[in-house]
Amino acid sequence: METRNTSPAGVRTIKASEFKARCLKLMDEVADNGAEIVITKNGRPVSRLIPYRKKPDTLFGIDRGKLEIHGDLDEPLDVAWEAETGRVQEEDH
């Protein structure tokens, strides 16, 4: 199997003739590991094999379980704001 990695992003490339011979196995690999494969013909990219991902019906809750809150979000900060001090800070031009 001759696959090349010619992209700086680490995208795997494969000749169309080799893809034709091994397409079902390559489709399983892409589905399992999520890595894209670029298919070339005469050394030029002609197609990409990427995993199918169903788009969510809504973005609400899309990051559930990915974010973690540390501390109390309602607790006041120990920082003096310009508006509270009554001073206007001059900008350097």
For residue 24, give its domain range. Answer: 1-51
What is the average pLDDT across 68-93? Answer: 73
Per the confidence metrics, is the pTM higher than 0.75? Answer: no
Token pair for 81: 């704001």
Rounded Cα gap, residues 35 and 51, in angstroms: 7
Tabulate helix, strand, coil % of the chain (nearest 5): 25, 20, 60
User: Does any domain span residue 45?
Assistant: yes
pLDDT digits (tens, 9 = 90+) for 52-79: 988 878 888 888 888 888 888 888 877 7
Q: Which residues contact 92 (CB under 8 A, 6 or more apart)?
A: none
User: Does any domain span residue 24?
Assistant: yes
pLDDT digits (tens, 9 = 90+) for 2-45: 555 555 467 899 999 999 999 999 999 999 998 999 999 999 99
User: Does any domain span residue 76?
Assistant: no
User: Does any domain span residue 8?
Assistant: yes
User: Does any domain span residue 93?
Assistant: no
CATH number at residue 25: 3.40.1620
User: Does any domain span residue 1?
Assistant: yes
Domain count, the chain: 1
